[in-house]
Structure 1
Amino acid sequence: MKVIVAIDSFKGCLTSKEANGAAAEGIRSVFPEAEVVEVPVSDGGEGYMEAFHAAVGGQLEEVTVRDPLMRLITAKYLLHNEMAVIEIAKASGLTLLAKEERNPMVATSYGTGQLVADAVRKGARQIIIGLGGSATSDAGVGMLRALIDTFARHGRWDDIEVLKDVSFTIASDVKNPLCGENGAAHVFAPQKGATPEMVLTLDERARKFAEVSARHFGYDRSEMAGAGAAGGLGYAFLQYLDAKCISGIQLLLDTIRFKEMVKDADLIITGEGSADRQTLMGKLPVGILEQAGKVPVCLIAGKISDREELLKAGFANVACINPPGIALEEAMKQEVAKENIRHTIVTTSTSIMSR
């Protein structure tokens, strides 16, 4: 019997590796002879760099960069031959700020640009950017400024030559444009500390930047899917660095040849912190489901909504790991979450494999 375990991180609680480990323990307690393959996964946000590192190897490069408030911090990215994988949250993430420090009017993506610059200087020619968890809503202006400060002789974008030989891929499941009511400011800035007045100012600021950029380049990519990701960082990569936008989980699964891995599997277990109809809009569990073929896929989550829709989409089982009435604070404790995953896997795997 072969079981593939590929669970996304439970944000603020468990990493992908930790969630996988708990599920694997549950499987082995029921099927001691089973071959359990644990696959760290991420859709482009938290854990994306680590997932690629587990899949392809390489070195984790440590760099001193600026955080969203321009304070010096140490951040890492993955370098593997001529490929680099950068999680923007490592330098420009919301988790780097205390709640009272969150202010997208001043938060900058400068540190992400420093990570990109370091990767280029160390020979990266293919750079994958995991967009997720940003504290910024600066349309990537800070990131571009860091690249200008590093590479432009006369302080102008057009002076930069070295980036012309580098290909960029942004990994994101966000389809939002840069501006408007579905754009970066209106949809994402409030969770980064923006007031309604700030949202309007940020949206107008991004719109003006896109207009100036379009005049300069002769084309406008502010309406492209993914432009609104990470506070508009997606737009900066699309417009200025000719990036391709790809589903984060799809890119990872293709890299690790997931379809080949699951061909002889009997069961796949995937999951995320909260699963609902939005899961079906390209999130990690659906990426797993789409590559599973005829292998049954069990979906677990800390919170479940729209269960019937998830089952209709093709999941063999959809299970909430938390018992009814459990307090959120208790459920978020690491050991509690691990035990709840183990218990859920014992129940669901037995049920599925007995069919």
Structure 2
Amino acid sequence: MKVVIAIDSFKGCLTSYEANQAASEGIRVACPDAEIIEVPVSDGGEGYMEAFHAAIGGRLEEVTVRDPLMRPIIAKYLLQGEMAVIEIAQASGLTLLAKEERNPMVATSYGTGQLVADAVRKGAKHIIIGLGGSATSDAGMGMLHALIDAFAKHNKWDDIDAFKDVKFTIASDVKNPLYGEKGAAHVFAPQKGATPEMVLRLDERARKFAEMSAKHFGYDHSLTAGAGAAGGLGYAFLQYLHAESKSGIQLLLETIQFKEMVKDADLIITGEGSADRQTLMGKLPVGILEQSKVPVFLIAGRISDREELLNAGFARVECINPPGISLEEAMKKHVAQQNIQECVADMVKKN
């Protein structure tokens, strides 16, 4: 029996690697002779760089950059030959700030630009940007300023020629535009510490920046799907660096040749912290399902809309947690690992 495990992180609880390991232990309990392949996965946010590193190798480059409040920190990105994978949360992530420090009016994406600059200097010709977990809502202006500081001869964007042979791909499942009711500020800034007044100001700032940029270049990507990702960083990459936008999970699965990996598998196990009908809107487990022609089991810490998930094609949909467990208890790492192990063992025994 060949089983492929590709479970997303249980945010705030387990990494993809840890969740995969727990599921693997469950399979060994139920089927000691099983061939097990563990695939760390991410949809573009937390763990994206590590997922690529596990899949394609390369080296993790450490760079001193600025965090969202312009404090020096060490951030990493992956360099494999002429490909670089940058996870913007490394330099511009919400987790880098204490709760009382969150303020998207001042938080900057400058550090992400420093990572891009370092990758270009070290010969990267294809740079994949994982957009997720940002603390910023600056429409990528901070990132662009960092690139101007690094490469512009006369402090002007048009003077830069460092990117003429560099391809950028942004990896995100966010489809929001840069501004407006469904834009970066209105939808995402409140969780980054924005008050209602700040949201309006951020939205207006992004709109004015887009108008100025469109006038300069003669084209406008502010309403392109994904422009609103990562506080508008998606827009900056689309507008200024001619980036291609791809689904984060699909890009990862294509790179690691997931279809080839699972073509002779008997079973695939995927999962995430919480599964419901929103899972069907392009989230990681659906990306796994779409690439698979064998039964796919879905596990999660919380399950809603089970029938819709089953109707979408998942062979089994199971909650790892026993009834009545408190959220606090369920979020403990060792408890979640044990619950995954027991749930998967039971599923495989009944398969």
What is the TM-score when the length of structure 2 is the normalising length?
0.99
1:198 Cα offset (Å): 0.6
Alignment match, 1:108: 108
Residue 158 in 1 paired to residue 144 in 2? no
Alignment match, 2:173: 173
For the 8 Å contact 2:184–2:230, the answer to whether it is kept is: yes
Q: What is the rounded CA distance, in whole Å, between the counterparts of 2:161 and 2:257 in structure 1?
A: 34
In the TM superposition, what whole-angstrom CA distance separates every residue of 1:99-132 from its partner, at most 9, and x where no partner exists? 1110000000000000000000000010000000
1:176 Cα offset (Å): 0.4
For 1:237, the aligned partner's letter is F
Alignment match, 1:27: 27
For 1:63-78, what aligned pairs fall within 5 Å after superposition? Answer: 63-78=63-78
Alignment match, 1:335: 334
Q: What is the rounded CA distance, in whole Å, between the counterparts of 2:186 and 2:305 in structure 1?
A: 25
Q: What is the rounded CA distance, in whole Å, between the counterparts of 2:190 and 2:28 in structure 1?
A: 43
For 1:211, the aligned partner's letter is E
Alignment match, 1:216: 216
Q: What is the rounded CA distance, in whole Å, between the counterparts of 2:324 and 2:101 in structure 1?
A: 33
For 2:318, the aligned partner's letter is A
1:304 Cα offset (Å): 1.0
For 1:80, the aligned partner's letter is Q
Q: What is the rounded CA distance, in whole Å, between the counterparts of 2:277 and 2:179 in structure 1?
A: 25
1:164 Cα offset (Å): 1.3
For 1:98-137, what aligned pairs fall within 5 Å after superposition? Answer: 98-137=98-137
For 2:33, the aligned partner's letter is E
Q: What is the rounded CA distance, in whole Å, between the counterparts of 1:179 and 1:153 in structure 2?
A: 31
For 1:1-355, what aligned pairs fall within 5 Å after superposition? Answer: 1-293=1-293, 295-351=294-350, 353=351
What is the number of residues matched between the two proteins? 351
In the TM superposition, what whole-angstrom CA distance separates every residue of 1:34-85 from its partner, at most 9, and x where no partner exists? 0000000000000000000011100000000000000000000000000000
In the TM superposition, what whole-angstrom CA distance separates every residue of 1:265-304 from its partner, at most 9, and x where no partner exists? 01000001111111111110000000011x0000011111
Name the SS of the counterpart of 1:74 in structure 2.
strand
Name the SS of the counterpart of 1:162 in structure 2.
coil
Q: What is the rounded CA distance, in whole Å, between the counterparts of 1:183 and 1:102 in structure 2?
A: 19
Name the SS of the counterpart of 2:301 in structure 1.
strand
For the 8 Å contact 2:30–2:346, the answer to whether it is kept is: no
1:242 Cα offset (Å): 0.2
Name the SS of the counterpart of 1:272 in structure 2.
strand
Name the SS of the counterpart of 1:147 in structure 2.
helix
- Aligned identity (percent) is 81
Q: What is the rounded CA distance, in whole Å, between the counterparts of 1:281 and 1:330 in structure 2?
A: 29
1:321 Cα offset (Å): 0.9
1:347 Cα offset (Å): 1.4
For 2:233, the aligned partner's letter is L
Name the SS of the counterpart of 2:163 in structure 1.
helix
What is the TM-score when the length of structure 1 is the normalising length?
0.98
Question: Which has the higher mean CA deviation after the structures are superposed, 138-147 or 326-335?
Answer: 326-335
1:305 Cα offset (Å): 1.2
Give the unaligned 5+ runs of structure 2: none
Q: What is the rounded CA distance, in whole Å, between the counterparts of 2:195 and 2:242 in structure 1?
A: 32
Q: What is the rounded CA distance, in whole Å, between the counterparts of 1:313 and 1:275 in structure 2?
A: 13
For the 8 Å contact 2:139–2:235, the answer to whether it is kept is: yes
In the TM superposition, what whole-angstrom CA distance separates every residue of 1:142-166 from its partner, at most 9, and x where no partner exists? 0000000000011000000011111
1:327 Cα offset (Å): 1.5
Give the unaligned 5+ runs of structure 1: none
For 2:85, the aligned partner's letter is V
Q: What is the rounded CA distance, in whole Å, between the counterparts of 2:166 and 2:185 in structure 1?
A: 29
Question: Which has the higher mean CA deviation after the structures are superposed, 335-344 or 324-333?
Answer: 324-333
Q: What is the rounded CA distance, in whole Å, between the counterparts of 2:305 and 2:201 in structure 1?
A: 36
1:188 Cα offset (Å): 0.4
1:329 Cα offset (Å): 1.4
Q: What is the rounded CA distance, in whole Å, between the counterparts of 1:157 and 1:347 in structure 2?
A: 58
Question: Which has the higher mean CA deviation after the structures are superposed, 340-349 or 282-291?
Answer: 340-349
Q: What is the rounded CA distance, in whole Å, between the counterparts of 2:66 and 2:131 in structure 1?
A: 17
For the 8 Å contact 2:137–2:232, the answer to whether it is kept is: yes
Q: What is the rounded CA distance, in whole Å, between the counterparts of 2:68 and 2:347 in structure 1?
A: 43
Q: What is the rounded CA distance, in whole Å, between the counterparts of 1:296 and 1:157 in structure 2?
A: 50
For 1:85, the aligned partner's letter is V
